[in-house]
Structure 1
């Protein structure tokens, strides 16, 4: 409940914001109003607003951490001194630190490792002391608020070896820090301190751009976006343990109409100590240089050597035009929300605007190529496919022309060629992209699926494991591995990978589909039907798989009803799936008629024809070999 008459002011280093969020939330649930700079308004009067709130608060909770007691914590010490003079000072320690000299007369309450349990004695001590100060009681001396130190085992269970609560409510640990992880890192989402929630796209985008830059540093493993964002609300040590990395980068972004402040820290994931930190106060438009400087400083702190031109390579394909960069980040945020035809079109509009502001923005061309391919493939007007895919290929080629070493450019061209059924050209570009630093999760997912569908099983498996190592909490990583294993006819292994993905996100439809298909081909019809029942009733893949399951269960009429429903709802968009059903029903002529139609409209579903288990019944037919030859598989 922020406001000018807030009961409590929270003073802390901006980089500790996520660690203080449970405390703020808990205090607000007690009916107390809390102000912290997450509530600050936009504009250029930050310090004035902070001073007004500090002077008005009845209690000032000062969070002492490794950062706030260090050289960069002068603002926290200043706020603590003002609160002490007014008799509103209440210190808490969120790390194993002592308050700076001069602030020891009031015992700090130790809440390190506390995760939000309101029954915890540490929180109850903070709550009691807060209410006392609000009621006008002077804070008491060192012995008065002391609480027993939590035992080492409890800290390990609740902190350094923390498990992660995901959206599914399932708790599990994916990684542990080890000596071999010294050159592995995760960039957590940067805190948005601009006072406007709508600016979150910018702070999240800055973090993603930094991941991209760091991923270009030889010898450095960088955790991808999805997994990094899922640990945004845990401390650095817990995040490092969960993701299995050696170090964590955290930071914050605050911008006004004229200035931007980006703060970044490199934190040792083993002991939580700060290895490097820097505050950048720059004019708007300097973000590209800041990102490059941060990546360079992190490399130096990790004792990684960049080549002579390595610093320039960190920002390959980017833009120094602030307006273009901002529009690009907006487009990326739109796609993060929900990828569908509407968001594809909105993102393309934003990419176009970015390119208009910077005609040499290689990343914008590459991303537009991918999204235009997705949009074109989602449309049922096949007459427009040739133009849509040709335009997308031109944008991908432009990205490569502008930045030949841009990984996203080559993976975008691979994606377009794949959809145009140029499998040999797609494979060459995927391999080129994979040879360059900076691959993102989306590119790896596409490459794994493509390799698995074409039958490059060993290569696909190795790449799938690499994808999972870079994005261990991303359900798509495990789901893509499941589909690859399904194409390899390893149904039990596919089922295990799908189950891991569904622990992360229980309702992810592509994973439910591959789980059901694996169960179906293992002969576990009842379990397969149960899986398919979790899909939307009109889901195309669910309709086709249920039609196959019904046929295998001896209900030909139900199979036909489901097949016709798919044909009626989706028309030519379902032609490859219709061919699968006919193949499984032993209807060879109908299967090949559907496949011929799929070839006529250039359906990308034909990618799987060579290894798709549902097509096994037709492989000995001479028409199958003829069709494979026409597709010119590598």
Structure 2
């Protein structure tokens, strides 16, 4: 057990990490949720560490004073006489903790100059800053480096080029990362327009900054890279000069309003091209082009350089064509939010399996994609998708019983097709035993915990999954769903605000939070911003009805929205229709959608807050029938046993009351 327990809000994770490093430099061990062992029960481990720690440091800030978890941990510390209060931004501790002295670090950046003297004194540290310690690279007691999570910063090049964002990356890792690859991104050549010559260097800088969040990757600084490029070395000497194992090169061509870019990933030692992709965009929307390049390059680097822990490693006898198809499937997997990318991922995995029928990882890829898909994604019945998924899953596990992706596909199938939460936990825990750092496994565990009604624990796993795969939009959406369960409006606002416009998906999630549990102040402050975030996807009619809906839920004002036009889908839309009197239309929407829904979508009917069906509708037999669908019923029965009953059907007598 550690000497010091560190309590903080997720938004303050960078400061927490720097302080943890400074504490370990001083000779004290420190525990924070980055050290949670994969597959363990979070609440029990946190409780054990709280009990064992000699001191409990609570980092107060504008974020943490609103955190129930931080307050609970501070109460334990205060009651046991082990509390060390620290203010990161000058925010005083909340009521109940102000009788204790607190250390104000608002004017002193943490990590510069070692451990702050007041903190050192509170911990009983004699020397807080050893002479040989580099505070910018904190080290533990055995000299092992702590991994610092590099956050993407906003980059503007000549006022036109801005860095794509990673949607509020926050994460924690179990320990020091083994650096698996060193990458240099060379400035791109630019042709067709001298006025945009700066794009070559600017895009390289932006991509380098963006990829810095990938776990296990070392990036050569753009200053060093430019210096080597200026020497005009031949290709085979660039890697040696930079100390890089791989590099990215490319060219940009301007043709009027069109911008075409081609990127290539090169093995520096062999000069072999590992990956190449062409991109096209509009001169007037360079940030969108940059975002798409960044997301696809990140997926390629992860798959080609083995940063995702893929099971293809060690398959030396695999046909190169199958191996290449498998890698392409992995590249598209993390961007499966795009239905075309999802379909391409599945197609590539199938090509790999056709070429190499004994290639377990290819069958696992097929099973995994299908385990997360419905008829909405592919023109097949759900029964057909389930049958194909099971066949691929069985084959993968027959060939390799310990294939992590295949085990997770089994967990996803239990979770999504059957609502079997216990089975999902069982398979996901097995996957985490085999690979505690698997981002896919933490995503699966987060989804199971969310379905089980344990959103706070789910968030920790989603953070871990996103840290392993920072550009996976699906995982970020599920993290927002966990925030919905916690009614954490500010967290959803922060996530959505980081999305580069236009961003209709993020706008809708933020709007749901506003309607579900936002305040009149939130309505006044944020509604226009939400509507703007949706861009051109929100026409005048949608914008008008969004205002009507928001004022109805937040202020109780009556209004009118149009009924179903035959194209709407999903529970949230049906809920809105029911509130505005279109009850029959609401159930038509559900009938049209329900066969394509996975088990966890029932959670959209059981969220806390205002955005649920009205009570008189919840007594309707048609509403009761939804909860008799086997996969939904399994989820609800599990949650009911845990005492979670929000949004459930009620009997007519209850409605009359």
Relative to the length of structure 1, the TM-score reads 0.48
TM-score (norm 2): 0.46
